Amino acid sequence: MKVLVADKFAMEGLRVFENADGIELDYQPGLSDAELLEKVADAEALVVRGGTRVSAEVIDAAKKLKVVGRAGISVENMDLEAANRKGIVVMNTPFGSTTTAAEHTIAMLMALARMIPAASQSTKSGLWEKEKYLGVEINGKTLGVIGAGKIGRLVGDLAIGLKMRVIVFDPYVSEETVRQMGAEQVGLDQLLAESDFITFHVPLNAETRHLLNAESLQQVKPGCRIVNCAMGGLIDETALAAAIKSGHIAGAALDVFAQEPPQKDHPLWSLDEVICTPHLRAATIDAQINVTVQIARQVIDFLQNGVIVNALNVPSISADLLDEMRPYIDLAEKLGSFQAQLFAKGMEKVTVEYAGEVTRHPVDQLTMAVLKGLLTPVHGSMVNYVNAPHLAKESGIEVVEARSSVAGGFSSQIRLTVTGAEGEHSVAGAMFGTDDYRIVGIDQHHVETVPEGHILVIRNEDKPGVIATLGQVLSEAGLNIAMMNLSRRKIQGRAFSLINVDSEIPEDVLETLRGKEFILSAVQVSL
């Protein structure tokens, strides 16, 4: 079986392929787009890092492809939808560089506190400016950690070892989990106001984009130093540059940027108070070896034994069972993702109820899919079907499964209930035929919508004019309605409206809707 490795790979990882029975290694780093299409045509496996884009065109050209392996965490270079359409398994290595990323964060923090890069450059130029580069101690200072995932927790642990006070903002992690870290859970406003250093460890999504912007920077404690080794786009870089120039922010250390590489006239480049590295968070010899060896073993185990490990688009089940279970897996994951974007703050308990024909299948694999959908908006691309239950446990979330032979008029139904800071809320999905599934319930409301694309979820008072107002606001924004479903439990009570639209809804349109007197909430869910 041919394995095409299309990016530079550690020798240790290549040896794993070379020593495997029945595996033909084709090591071709640096292929052009045309060469990749030619080489992948007869490959059973394609292994890449971040330098090769696995596009829909590549997927279509790969006539024999069974698995794509990504040595690393991020999968922005993968077209997962194209892989799903062809039933190709996509794997990554979510924990191979956790330690490296955390250590790079601490290294950036230390360098920022003592202005090491600028002092080094000055000294090498022949100057001896001891008084100019007067740093600060980190002992006793407060570190604000935004995001308490695997890397965020490790950064907090290292900082506590350096005698820092660690405070954490993560609305998706329980207070008990943060307490076990030896840290203190706080709100975002408190973190901004009290932190001497702030570090980011969250995925980039609609909720976190420009989390630190011109407005929130004004809330930050004067003299604070900012570190971002997580994702570009979490910080408004222009606003950060202005805050540093004004003296409100003492400095920043950035490993990631909204555009990579950034433009040569980037506003942060001219500031001595800013340290920049070229996305080095996973760039250690140890991490490079770890992720290449790990992905090589995963790909070989799949090709030889049909075992799926750390997959992004399927749980760890046999390849034979995968085709039959895929519609249920997709529904389960979308229910989790839908719920995560509506009611997932401070999750304490997750209950998944299976009813009807779905109970003939191993539902623990479906629960993995639910948890992956539920936790991906929280933890980002590191979440897969295998580690999702572990991440839920680490976050202090109780997971309960229940089965029933009666599916409420459907052949199969899955109901997901989340209990947390926003109370108890549920969403239900059902199968219509062999591969058609829909969302059929939210809390106690009967609804019906296809869980695809962009869905506007409205909670509103049941009054005349709601539909007309929704249509007018969306029409004026140039948004086409593909499907609309409304549900109420009693006249003049409260209702749910689910509206599928053809394109993403801008935030200002959502704000316009939220400003209407009879609309209680307006949330965009993207699936």
Provide the annotated active-site residues.
Answer: 260, 279
The two structure tokens encoding residue 72: 């690393």
The rounded distance, in Å, linking the Cα atoms of 496 and 484 is 11
Phi/psi region, residue 323 (left: phi>0; alpha: psi -120 to 50; beta: rest), is alpha
If we measure between CA atoms, which residue out of 258, 261, 206, 253 comes closest to residue 229? 253
The rounded distance, in Å, linking the Cα atoms of 244 and 272 is 10
Cα separations (Å) of 102 from 137, 157, 349, 475? 20, 10, 29, 46
The rounded distance, in Å, linking the Cα atoms of 374 and 230 is 20
- Residues with Cβ within 8 Å of 108's Cβ and at least 6 positions away in sequence, in order, are 227, 229, 253, 255, 275, 277
The rounded distance, in Å, linking the Cα atoms of 415 and 481 is 27
Tokens 């780093």 belong to residue: 29
Q: In 10 A of CB 84, how many CB atoms? A: 17
The rounded distance, in Å, linking the Cα atoms of 234 and 212 is 7
User: 3-class SS at 466?
Assistant: helix
